[in-house]
Amino acid sequence: MDRLTALNVFRHVAELQSFAEAGRRLGLSPAAISKNIAELERHLSCRLIHRTTRRMALTEEGRLYYRQVAQVLDDLDEADRSLFPMQATPSGVLRVSAPTTVTLKLLSPAIPRFLAQYPQLTLELDLDDRRVDLVKEGYDLAIRGSDRLEDSSLIARKLTSLEHVLCGSPAYFQGAGIPTRPADLARHNCIQFSLSSHSDFWEFSRGSERIGVSIDGRYKVGSSLAVRDALLAGFGLSVIPRVYVEDDLLSGAVVPVLTEWSLPLTEVYAVYGSRVHLALKVRVFLDFVSRALGGQ
């Protein structure tokens, strides 16, 4: 027996006082109505409906059970319907993990406008450069660099690519000299962003030429902001996403070197659970982030 169907059948029979009419209303044959009622009574070991040919009435037990069942079925409909608002309007709490610097530079200015668009949405944005576990830590979505992708069961949607620049302060280069070829870096103090894969092995390319250089330095740090601070302080040189030091390059606070060489890009992805039944709040944020980061 499909008990929900049987309960619904019972409810209709009780309200309409007729098996036949209940069948018409539910699009079921008289045999199905009769069968469902019989099986519900068998399940309960209890007569719910007193019936003879062409006539029926609820028993006392039937009347009691009807009142309760009607409430239960209404509550269940209500439970189903309670999910509709979240499907029609982005609402609830959206929890996102995003890397610090990308977010501060590229997303922060636009977030208030995004939230203005969706008044019923609350955004919890954790700035975190670690590779977080979405399921374990309860995130709806994470923004990551290509080298911090993980579960292949998650969906990764590319948002943008970050160019990098090799640079240092004028003061640093005045003291240490300007590298003219990648191999020169072996004799420089190279500041490392420790959360980057291969942070101690930098690759360069020019046309079809590719060179990899093992580098070292006295300062490894897990924050792009701290890397920039060290650059500005003249502590060394580093490979850093260009947008992080855009203003510094313009002002001359840092200068690019080995500019005829190209550096690998960092691909930025949005990572989330599944395309199927994607919550509306996740989808609208995804769209927002795609536009904000210029991803096509």
Q: Which residues contact DNA by CB under 7 A?
A: 1-2, 5, 18-21, 27-39, 51-56, 133, 150-153
Task: Report the interhelical angle of 19-26 vs 3-16 (nearest 10°).
Answer: 120
Query: Applying CB under 8 A, does 34 fall inside the site for a copy of itself?
Result: no
Considering only CA atoms, which of 108, 117, 103, 173 is closest in space to residue 145? Answer: 103
Q: Specify which residues 66 forms β-bridges with.
A: none
- Compute the distance between CA of residue 78 and CA of residue 164 in angstroms, rounded to an integer: 53
**CA-based nearest residue to 69, from 109, 25, 9, 138:** 9
Smallest distance, Å, CB 67 to DNA?
21
19 binds, among DNA, a copy of itself, none (CB under 5 to 8 A by kind): DNA
Asked if 113 and 84 count as a contact pair (C-beta separation under 8 A), the reply is no
Give the x-and-dash track for 272-291 against a copy of itself (CB under 8 A).
-xx-xxxx------------
Q: How far is CA 208 from CA 26, 166, 198, 211, 276, in A?
A: 72, 20, 21, 10, 42
Contacts to a copy of itself from residues 216-245, by CB under 8 A: none
Q: Quick one: which of 9, 26, 37, 69 contacts a copy of itself (CB under 8 A)?
A: 69
Asked if 71 is part of the footprint of a copy of itself (rule: CB under 8 A), the reply reads yes
Distance in Å, CB of 246 to DNA, minimum: 35
d(CA 148, CA 131): 6
Q: Is there binding between residue 82 and a copy of itself (CB under 8 A)?
A: yes
Residues 91-130 that bind a copy of itself (CB under 8 A): 92-93
Contact predicate 102/267, CB 8 Å: no
Could you say whether residue 265 binds a copy of itself (CB under 8 A)?
no
Least spacing, CB of residue 248 vs DNA, in Å? 37
Partner from a copy of itself, DNA, none contacting 208, C-beta within 5 to 8 A by type: none
Quick note: the x/- pattern for a copy of itself over 128-147, rule CB under 8 A, is -----xxxx-x-x-------
Cα 232 from Cα 94, distance rounded (Å): 36
The number of beta carbons lying within 10 Å of the beta carbon of residue 112 is 9
Query: Can you give the binding site for a copy of itself, defined by CB under 8 A?
Result: 2-4, 7, 41-42, 44-47, 50-53, 55-57, 59-61, 64-65, 68-69, 71-72, 75-76, 78-80, 82-83, 86-87, 92-93, 133-136, 138, 140, 151, 153-154, 273-274, 276-279
